[in-house]
Amino acid sequence: MRYVLEGSIQRDNNRLRVTAQLIDADTGTHIWADRYDRELADVFLVQDEIVNQIVGKVAGSYGAIERSEIKSAARKSSDQIQAYDLVLRARDAIQFHWTKDTFGQAEGLLRQAISLDPSNAQAHRELAWFGVMGWIFQLDERPAPPEEITEQAAKAVELDPADARARMVAASAYFFAKQLDAFAREANQALALAPYDAEIMATLACMISAAGDHARGVALAQKANALNADAATGWYHSTVYTADYLKGDYAHALEVARQNQDAEMFYSYLEIIPIFGQLGMKPEAFDAWKKLQAQIPDASPRTFEDWWRLWNMPEADIAKLMDGVHKSGVLGAEG
């Protein structure tokens, strides 16, 4: 979070005074401030007018943020500018095409960025995030060791403590490295810094629920989905349908699972097979099993168990999920 907008409201009978100021979180510098005095005839019209003016002056063309970015860019060296460009190219490379090839290309771009500008917090953050995603979704040909991923994530937080995404990445790295106390600390920091960021909320909700706090995880996932369904896709669905399954609501679990836009990812087959099993839908389970085997030819009972243990799921929850897997018949045995 590079910029922070803060302000205050004072009222005197039918007069309203709103003050606002924009702060560069990196330096603590006040880069813009203004005051608005209005007659309080219609509070909603006044609110819309002031909000629109503030947004225009802060975020619009030639606004305070753009002017600040121009000044900041002028102070950067050519290596810093090139590093920033490499980070943007890396994020674009994998934004819509999650393959091993695009993953490898993006990772290479980020390592170049760090070699050019070791102080680039975004490069460290995204490299750590790619490490986490490569680990979870098996996109990395040579997965980075957990300690390397957490080190990159910690460096990003050190360089930019106010970056909510860096906090989310650090939380994720600690989660999959089984450092759950550190995960909780960074997750809470991320949510506090960005209370309306649907991607951050949905991502952390999935981990919170998987580790056993289903009520909080589902509540966060649903809030994220309401804020921005596009940003919550995948994370939202997995959180909700897995929690539904564990409480025995298999019909709703299936309904939500079928809405998941990641339905052709290997993990979706792992997670929908137990639902089919509990609902007695063996043909559908076998179809999902064949699709899973096309991606993981040596899939076995261990494949299911390892997936859920990766997510720090309690053994009792894993047992409930495996019950559905066995009932599906795909492993050649009834529950």
Question: Within 10 Å of residue 121's Cβ, how many Cβ atoms?
Answer: 20
At 178-201, the pLDDT tens digits run 999 999 999 999 999 888 889 999
Give the pLDDT of residue 95.
63
Give the pLDDT of residue 77.
60
Give the pLDDT of residue 94.
62
**Residue 138, phi-psi category: left (phi > 0), alpha (psi -120 to 50), beta (remainder):** left
Strand order in the sheet with 29-39: 3-12, 15-24, 29-39
Give the pLDDT of residue 167.
95
What's phi and psi for 121, nearest 5 deg?
-65, -35
What's the CA gap between 258 and 254, in Å, rounded?
A: 6
Distances from the Cα of 192 to the Cα of 168, 200, 249, angstroms? 11, 11, 32
Give the pLDDT of residue 26.
62
Give the pLDDT of residue 50.
72
- Place 231 in a pLDDT band, splitting at 50, 70 and 90: confident
At 285-335, the pLDDT tens digits run 999 999 999 999 999 999 999 999 999 999 999 999 999 999 999 998 443
Q: Are 194 and 163 in contact (CB under 8 A)?
A: no
- Place 74 in a pLDDT band, splitting at 50, 70 and 90: very low
- Place 25 in a pLDDT band, splitting at 50, 70 and 90: low
- Place 79 in a pLDDT band, splitting at 50, 70 and 90: low
For residue 36, what is the enclosing H or E element?
strand 29-39
Give the pLDDT of residue 150.
95
For domain 77-177, give the CATH number: 1.25.40.10
Q: pTM of the prediction?
A: 0.77
Given the candidates 1.25.40, 1.10.287, 1.10.10, 3.40.50, the CATH classification of the domain at 196-335 is 1.25.40
Residues 6+ apart with CB under 8 A from 334: 326, 327
Mean pLDDT, rounded, for 201-219: 97
Give the pLDDT of residue 2.
66
Mean pLDDT, rounded, for 45-55: 72
Instruction: Tell whether the model's pLDDT for residue 205 goes beyond 70.
Output: yes
Mean pLDDT, rounded, for 27-48: 74
CA-wise closest residue to 169 among 198, 265, 155? 155
- Place 66 in a pLDDT band, splitting at 50, 70 and 90: low
Give the pLDDT of residue 328.
97
Mean pLDDT, rounded, for 76-93: 68
303 class by beta-carbon count within 10 Å (0-12 exposed, 13-18 middle, 19+ buried): middle
